[in-house]
Amino acid sequence: MSADSQVAPTPQQETGHTPSRSRIRVGSAPDSWGVWFPDDPAQVPWQRFLDEVSACGYEWIELGPYGYLPTDPSRLSDELTARGLQVSAGTVFEHLHRPDSWDAVWSQVKDVAALTQAMGGTHVVVIPDTFRDQKTGADVESRDLTPEQWQAKTTGVTRLGKAVQEEYGLSIAFHPHAETHVGWQRDIERFLADTDPQYVPLCLDTGHVSYYRGDNLELINRYPERIGYLHLKQVDPAVIDRVLEEDIVWPEAVRMGAMTEPPNGVPAYPPLFEAIEEHGLDVFAIVEHDLYPCPPDVPLPIARRTHRYIGSCGFPSLQVGIPRTPTAEEGRA
């Protein structure tokens, strides 16, 4: 039995492992409000996302898809300051295994890195493009890379990490993802072996690792020096069993409830927080709850309960803000 499938300890369990340099800064992201695209009528307006994520008590956010939040640094800074929010990272996608792809990837990275830097963020989360379309689920390319394509991806991501570090003073965080060429644990381990640790930290997305029945705890304990960033997410094992058995596409899996709010799914968070404590890691832990598409009133109650649950987990290094008193209108949400 993997660590992810064990029964979760009660959140109040204390570990006694509290290295002074360990720090886990908890935040959330537009993804937890059902936002996958810069502009989509099925998504909540960006003002509502900012209002509600602040009301939950989160102090850190990601930018989400470039263009969803205002891209003018002065305007975005004003909007964030008014709500007591700070930016941890921006997000980009890469397809560096494809021929002549550098210019296209770098073009989007430059915009995201510049805005992240202007907002005082420290990371650019880099996600490999999916081999199925994220809206339709249609096949886009082969699920398997040739040796040459794999080498192009790993050397390309290393080059990308070096360029972002040197030109913007930021760190990338490579994010394994369902329906990509770096999804299964064997792919993650191979990717870590074939990229430069100096330039390619990992964004460990606990839900995407568990989506393919990987062991998050093992990855933290085997590769603590590569864990540069966290996405906190849980999956419903029963839904995942069906998804994998029937080869259900990622967008449909999300609509089926593959991602679930804690503590109802796997992996259990307390053992992961304990491992972070033991290794003394200084990381952002950004909550993501894939919900696209969803009714606009769905995200806020889930985000509030998730914030309370994480705050109850009893680990000294968890830095979770105090929820702001909601307005009467917010309280009805």
Residue keyed to tokens 């009467």: 328
Mean pLDDT, to the nearest integer, of 144-157? Answer: 98
Query: In the prediction, which pLDDT does 200 show?
Result: 98
The burial of 328, by beta-carbon neighbours within 10 Å (0-12 exposed, 13-18 middle, 19 or more buried), is given as: exposed
Buried/exposed 4-38: b ≥16 CB within 10 Å, e otherwise: beeebbebeeebebeeeebbbbbbbbbbbbbbbee
Q: What share of the chain in percent tops pLDDT 70? A: 91
Phi, psi values for residue 4, rounded to 5°? -70, -25
Tell me the C-alpha distance between 181 and 153, whole Å.
10
Give the model confidence (pLDDT) of 107-136 as tens digits: 999 999 999 999 999 999 999 999 998 888
Among the listed residues 19, 295, 269, 249, the one whose alpha carbon sits nearest the alpha carbon of residue 135 = 249
* Architecture of the structural domain at 3-331: Alpha-Beta Barrel (3.20)
Query: In the prediction, which pLDDT does 4 show?
Result: 42
Among the listed residues 168, 24, 29, the one whose alpha carbon sits nearest the alpha carbon of residue 85 = 29
Tell me the C-alpha distance between 124 and 283, whole Å.
14
Query: Contacts by 18-22 with C-beta closer than 8 Å and gap 24+?
Result: 18/277, 18/316, 18/317, 19/277, 19/278, 19/280, 21/280, 21/282, 22/276, 22/277, 22/279, 22/280, 22/281, 22/282, 22/317
Mean pLDDT, to the nearest integer, of 251-266? Answer: 96
The DSSP code for 35 is: -
Q: Is 60 left (phi over 0), alpha (psi -120 to 50) or beta?
A: beta
Query: Residues with Cβ < 8 Å from 278, sequence gap 6 or more?
Result: 15, 17, 19
Annotated domain spans of the chain = 3-331
Query: In the prediction, which pLDDT does 17 show?
Result: 39
